Structure 1
Amino acid sequence: MDLQLILALIAGIATIVVIVLATRLDAFIALLAASVVTGIVAGQDLLSIVDAITTGFGNTLASIGIVIGLGVGIGKILEVSGAADSLARAFLRAFGDGREAWAMGTVGSLVSIPVFCDSGYVIMNPLARSIARVKRGGYVTLALALGCGMTLTHHMVPPTPGPLAATGILGADIGSVILTGVIFTVLLLPVVVIYARWIGPKLEPVLNAAVKHDVYGSVTAASAGGHAVEGGGDRTEHGNVATMTGEDADAATTASKSDDSTNTATSAAGGSTEAGNNETGATKNPGAFLGFLPLIVPLLLIVGNTVSTAIDKSAQGELSGDTYEPSAWVAPLAFLGNPVIALMIGLILAVYTLLPRMTPRNKVQNWLADGAASAGLILLITGAGGAFGMVLTESGVGDALAEAIASISLPAFLVPFVIASLVRIAQGSGTVAMITAASVTAPLIAPLGLSPLVAVMACTAGSMVFSYFNDSYFWVVTRFTGLDGMNAIKGWSGITTAVWAGSIPLLFVLDLIV
């Protein structure tokens, strides 16, 4: 591999780490600066660096920007109406006390089969916040379990684009890939829950102060050790610890619900944390069924789009979708199931089914404006992550890594696994890593005697490794979760690497069986 490209990658990552950890600048500036440094060290033309930054930023926000905006609007209405609280309590009753992390991981893995994990996380994060608020703690554990549950199926179960494209490129049977991907997901879900339960309590005390306040409000959040971390007051005091009895906590909850004027908060996931403070003037919170409608209807519409498109592609023999033209019957479903349209329908449902009929228009508009404002920094950072990834791609780092590892003598199934892993680290996108690894591996299938099914699973599993600064989903999860700096690395990068490592023995077994 070209030494210059290695230095470019190292320089870019170092720039992010130094700026985020040692300066007053935030991750948005760090990612843009890293993009410039990487491009210069890699030898790119200066103007092409700027083009790559703007293109990557625009492409990323084109796919996720509107979705985040609509998602935080839904979350805001769920919170201020009290529907999120009702939904959380119903969810806890259904799964049982103590199994919240399992519930979040399972729901995340199911939702992410038909829905992009970015969109799914935005839609489902308010539920994690509501459960944490009801439990008075454990938000980081729930948020990580939700996000990584989504990562599993997003990477390993078609019809998400990455595994679907790898299946087409390598000539594997799509039914076998779906079945194997589901089995891998089931076997790796315990890794997700165990890691989330282990790291969550360690990171809960250092949760971003603003997010902590948004999740728990002025009611204290119970920590793993039975203490309570103050969520209100001075947000900079991460270390303020107080002990609260159950009766005191209930009293504090009641007090917070009665104070309309002082307990409003905007949420990075789109909602006020005071789900129970009855801002709408309603005498009773909406039921769980009504609260679920703005979430399930968009999901069902997106699922309908995904399933109908997959059926249509299969009928046309266009698994990769490169030359796919949808049939006439698919077009209406594709329109309604586009995440933008689906979430817009969800937001309309939230406003007109969850809020009292006489709620003033300006009050609703203010709530939605608060939700949109809270998403601003998330949008900027997510777009900057896409810009950094584009510069890395345009610099040729990913292709150089793939060619270098393909020339190394390894067990056959580890070739696509390592290629996908290195490309993922180099440029951030799991989908690009899968497709790159599949493209490089395709000519090697026959010479290596490698099963196409094993090759596909190796590509998908390898692409999960160490999600960090150049992955837009990293910023979605960590910003919504409230993890900054090294805490984000420990939480999110750590859990994605744990499932990546857990997939290696599964690949060994699959290679022996197939």
Structure 2
Amino acid sequence: MDIQLLLALVLGIATIIVLVLRTRLDAFVALLIAALVTGIVAGQAPLDIVTSITTGFGNTLASIGIVIGLGVGIGKILEVSGAANSLAMAFLKLFGKGREPWALGSVGALVSIPVFCDSGYVIMNPLARSIARVKRAGYITLALALGCGMTLTHHLVPPTPGPLAVAGILGADLGALILAGLVFTVLLLPIVIVYAKWIGPKIEPSMNEGVREVVYGTAQAQSGHRGATAVADRESRTGSGAVAGAGGDAPSMDVDNTTLGTPPEGAAPHRVGAFVASLPLLVPLLLIILNTVSGAIDQNNQGVVGTGEYVPSSWAVPLAFVGNPVVALVIGVILAVYILLPRWTPRSKVQGWFAEAAGSAGLILLITGAGGALGQVLRSSGVGDALAEAIAGTSLPAFLVPFLIATLVRLAQGSGTVAMITAASVTAPLVGSLGIDPIVAAMACTAGSMVFSYFNDSYFWVVTRFAGLDGVAALKGWSGITTAVWAGSIPLLFIADAVLG
């Protein structure tokens, strides 16, 4: 590989890491500066660099920006309506007593598809505390299972913003990526549960006393389990205990009506059933997957292979329309607003929630676009082609390149989203020339970004603060479980490459 082009790539990635870690600039600006540095070092004309940046930014957001905005909107309505809690309780009932870690890991994975990990964990953590309070043991196991279940789909399954951005940058089919992400999630979830059940009892004695008192009650910390019931009763009176545990009294999934607007006099507390709560999630996902499956069948029937141009047959056009991610998620938003919220919720409330959701998605959109800009500079400057030729001359499987880039960036700067977008940006020019399947490349980017969540990751602090873990116990528990699923994804990537490559 040409030394100048190699230097351009190395300096570009180093620029992202140094700016995010050592300056007051965020990842959006860091990615743009990295694109400038890469283009200049590679010898690209200055005005051509600017053109590449604006072209890459626009093309990326054109394909994925609307979908990210709609996805976070659905997540916000699930949160405020109480639908997320209803889904959680349904999973507990489904798995049954004694399988609470499986239930919480599964519900965490489901809730984190449309809801950001941080807010999703805050919403669901009272459920883990209430179950532990009734069982009078096992809170750390439940907290880790819930948190890492959320990590899986947050990193692997669109319409979470990170995987959505990777799909847009790499040109991966969204429906196929959803299916692949769900398969990876199902196969990696046992690792989450086994690790949580193994490490939980070992580090539970290290839980700080403040959290222990909130979860179990003061008496447990002093002389066994006495007083846990009193704490549960006190929390139910003050409203700090969100739900009861499995095996306890039936939990209340009611939502305070005043948070949803001004209810009519005598209105019953708002409640959303689990089946209804699932519709804004399931309907869009099923439509997108149906579009992917029908398109594959139609292309096979037409004999379209390789880069041949595909025009949907008349029977496939309706499915292609409603299964387009934009249309599918518009349907999801409509379902969320009109079946999850009561009739008396005012328009101003709903619009305010969407504004909050848009605010949370704004930076993700900018980072996504900037990642596309960096990828375009890598293409137009020739760095991508040179890297492809260099990799082709080694024995390293090509799909491990994005996996390792995502791993290194995640370790350096903490954000899984930034890590997978950076890996996708660098990988995008290589997908065609090296013959990497876009789905495999996308899964490599997303799986690599799960490694060793620690002090520079905001979600690390969310989970460990709620779990009451500090120091070595926090690293053994949370950093360990995220590294376990990262390692577990490696053989799955080899299998995916053998099947799809």
Short-chain TM bin:
0.5 to 0.7
Shift of 1:466: 3.3
In structure 2, the CA distance between the partners of 1:72 and 1:98, relative to structure 1 (3 Å rule), is same
The match for 1:143 among 141, 146, 150 is 150
Aligned-pair RMSD on alpha carbons?
Answer: 5.0
* CA shift digits 1:140-181 (9 cap, x unpaired): 423212235539xx99xxx9998999xxxxxxxx9xxxx999
Deviations for 1:3-35, whole angstroms, at most 9, x for unmatched residues? Answer: 112211221122111211111221111111111
Q: Residue 8 of structure 2 contacts residue 39 of structure 2 at CA under 8 Å; is this kept in 1?
A: yes
Contact 1:286 1:354 in 2 (8 A): yes
Q: Which blocks of at least 5 consecutive residues in structure 2 are unaligned?
A: 130-142, 218-227, 243-252, 410-420, 463-474
Of residues 432, 456, 466, the one that matches 2:448 is 466
Instruction: Identify the residue that residue 37 of structure 1 maps to in structure 2.
Output: 37
Counterpart mapping for 1:224-239 below 5 A: 225-227=206-208
* Residue 291 of structure 1: aligned partner: 277
Name the structure 1 match of 2:70. Answer: 70
In 1, Cα distance between equivalents of 2:39 and 2:198: 38
The 8 Å contact of residues 401 and 423 in structure 1, kept in 2 or not, is answered as no
Match for 2:62: what amino acid? A
2:281 & 2:205 partners in 1: Cα distance?
Answer: 30
Partner of 1:302: 288
In structure 2, C-alpha distance between the alignment counterparts of 1:10 and 1:88, rounded to whole Å: 44
Assess if the C-alpha contact under 8 Å between 2:378 and 2:429 holds in 1.
no
Helix, strand or coil: the match of 1:141? helix
2:57·2:371 contact (CA, 8 Å) conserved in 1?
Answer: yes
CA contact (8 A) 1:467 1:496 kept: no
2:297 corresponds to: 311
Please name the residue that 1:168 is paired with: none
1:98 pairs, out of 85, 98, 101, with 101
The change in CA–CA distance for 1:160 and 1:340 in structure 2 (over 3 A counts) is closer
CA drift at 1:292: 0.8
Provide the rounded CA distance (Å) in 2 between the counterparts of 1:290 and 1:147: 23
Is the partner of 2:113 in helix, strand or coil?
helix
- The total of aligned residue pairs comes to 412
Q: Does the CA-based 8 Å contact 1:87-1:127 persist in structure 2?
A: no
Residue 335 of structure 1: aligned partner: 321
**TM-score, normalised on structure 2?**
0.65
Question: Where does residue 61 of structure 2 map in the other structure?
Answer: 61
Match of 1:134 in 2: 127
Aligned match for 1:404, one of 390, 393, 401: 390
Query: What does 1:5-404 correspond to in 2, within 5 Å?
Result: 5-95=5-95, 96-100=99-103, 102-103=105-106, 121-122=113-114, 130-136=123-129, 137-138=143-144, 140-150=147-157, 190=190, 225-227=206-208, 243-244=214-215, 245=217, 248=231, 251-252=234-235, 255=238, 276-278=255-257, 279-280=259-260, 281=263, 283-320=269-306, 322-404=308-390
Structure-2 separation of matches of 1:482 and 1:391: 35
| Structure-2 change in CA distance of 1:224 and 1:403 (3 Å) | farther
**What percent of counterpart residues are identical?**
46
Please state whether the residue corresponding to 1:318 is helix, strand or coil: coil
Task: Name the CA distance, whole Å, in 1 between partners of 2:29 and 2:180.
Answer: 41
Whether the 8 Å CA contact 2:76–2:353 is kept in 1: the answer is yes
Residue 399 of structure 1: how far off its partner (Å): 2.1
Aligned-pair CA distance for 1:60: 2.2
Given that 1:60 and 1:383 are in contact with CA atoms closer than 8 Å, whether structure 2 keeps it comes out as yes
Q: Judging changes above 3 Å, is the alpha-carbon distance between structure 1 residues 494 and 47 closer, same or farther for their aligned structure 2 residues?
A: farther
Give the direction of change, closer, same or farther, for the CA distance of 1:42–1:227 in structure 2 (3 Å limit). Answer: same
Deviates more, 1:7-16 or 1:280-289: 280-289
Identify if the C-alpha distance between structure 1 residues 142 and 366 changes in structure 2 by more than 3 Å, giving closer, same or farther: same
Checking the alignment, whether the CA contact within 8 Å between 2:81 and 2:340 is kept in structure 1 is yes
Alpha-carbon separation, structure 2, partners of 1:363 and 1:197? 42
Superposed CA deviations along residues 117-139 of structure 1, whole A, max 9, x for unmatched, are xxx93379687664344225446
